[in-house]
A = this chain, B = another copy of it.
Amino acid sequence: MMSRKEYALQQLKGLGNDVLGQLVKEEVPNIKVPSRGTGNIIFNEDKRYYELGERYGTRSLGNVKQIKKMAQMMYVANFCKNLVNIQKTATMREMYYVSEGWDVSFDNQQESNNLSEDIEVTLGISREDLGLMPEEDGASVYGDITLKDDDVEINAMKAGKSGYTISPTIDEVEIVDHNVKRVIAVETMGMYHRMVQEKAYNRFDTLIVGLKGQAARATRRFIKRANTELNLPVYICNDGDPWGFHIAMVIISGSAKLAHVNHDLATPDAKFLGVTASDIVNYDLPTDKLKDIDVSRLKELAADPRYNGTQWQTEIKKMLKIGKKAEQQAFSKYGLEYVVDTYLPAKLAEIENQEIE
C-alpha cells in the first residue's frame, strides 16, 4: 500500500503534470479547485460529518485576474514537493516568509493560508501530508500505549506526569502496541492531572487525553486513529456549557471549515459523556448562570445538523430551561476523588450499557 507521503508526492506531481500537459498541447492551462463556499459544505447524514459537495471553480491562465494565483499555486505545490522529498515540515508562517523570495509573493499570510487550502482541496489531501504544519502541538496522552516516532519508542506512561504530547506530525507516528480498552478525552488539563493522580488509567483501562480546549488537528487525527485502527471506543468529558458541547462535537462530526479533511479528522462514533444538563441537576453541581452569549450559542447548536440526535436536543433544551452551566471541575464539591470514584464509573456504565442494548 502507498504511504500517505507517497500519495502526497504522486498528487503533487500529478498537478504539475496536468499543467505541463496542457501547455505542451498548446492549451490554456487551468486547474479545477473544489469550492469551499458555504453552499458546497454539506452534512453527510450517513457519514455523520461535514464534507464538500460537487461544486468547483476553474482557475485559468486565460483569466488575467487568476494568473498570479495560478503561479502562486505552482510555487506552493513545488515548495511542498521539496518538503515531502527531504522529509521536512514547515509552518504556514515559515512558508509565508519563504515566499518573500518568490517572484509572486503574497500580500499577507491570510492569502498564503488560503492558497495552501486551495491545494489541500484540489489534491484531496491534508496539509500535514504536504509538510505544512500547524504551529500548535496536540493534546497530552497518558496511559498504556506505545508509539514509534522515527526510531524512538515511547510508552505514554513513561513520558512524565504530563504524558506524551501529540505532535503535528502524528501521521508519521506508528502505534506499536497498547493495553487499554477505551479513550477518555477531557477538556481541561486540571481534569487531566486529576485523572492521572487518581490513576483513572488503571481503573478504567483507558487512555487519558487532555484536550486543552478546542482540539488541535493533530489531536483529532490521533483520536480518529485510536478509534479506527485500534477499535477503541472514545468518550469525551467537557465542561457543561455550549462551548464544552462544541469542543466534543468538533471531535465527533468535524467542523464545517475543515469539510475537505473531515474524513481524516472526524470520529463519528465518539460519545459525549458529560457534563450534561442532566448531570448538573442529578449531581446538584455548583453552577453559573447562563450568559446571553451562552443562550444564543445553545440555540445555534440546537439548529445545527450535527446536533440533531434526540439526546443532544434534550440536553440543550434542558440547559436552556434550567438556565445554568457547570464546569467539569465542579465535581470537586464532593471531594477531589469524586469524579473518578463515582461520576465517571456511573456515566461509563450508563453509556456502555446503552450500547449493548
Contacts and interface: CB of A to CB of B under 8 A. Distances in A.
A72 B247 CA distance: 36
Interface of A: 88-91, 93-95, 97-98, 100-101, 133, 135-138, 140, 147, 149-150, 152, 154, 157-169, 173, 188-190, 193-194, 197, 286, 327, 329-336
Contact of A94 (B157, B160, B164, B332): B332
Given A100-B333, A136-B189, 13 more contacts: A89-B197, A91-B329, A93-B327, A94-B194, A97-B286, A97-B330, A97-B331, A135-B189, A138-B162, A147-B160, A160-B165, A161-B167, A168-B193
A165 B162 contact: yes
Contacts of A334: 101
A195 to B, nearest CB: 12
A94 B191 CA distance: 9
A162 B137 contact: yes
Instruction: Give how many copies assemble into the complex.
Output: 2
A103 B197 CA distance: 27
B135 A98 contact: no
Of all A-B residue pairs in the complex, the 6 with the closest CB atoms, nearest first, are A162-B165, A97-B332, A91-B190, A162-B167, A161-B167, A94-B332
Contact of A98 (B97, B168, B335): B335
19 contacts: A90-B336, A91-B190, A91-B194, A94-B190, A94-B329, A97-B330, A97-B333, A98-B332, A98-B333, A98-B336, A133-B193, A135-B188, A135-B189, A149-B160, A152-B157, A152-B158, A159-B164, A160-B173, A161-B167
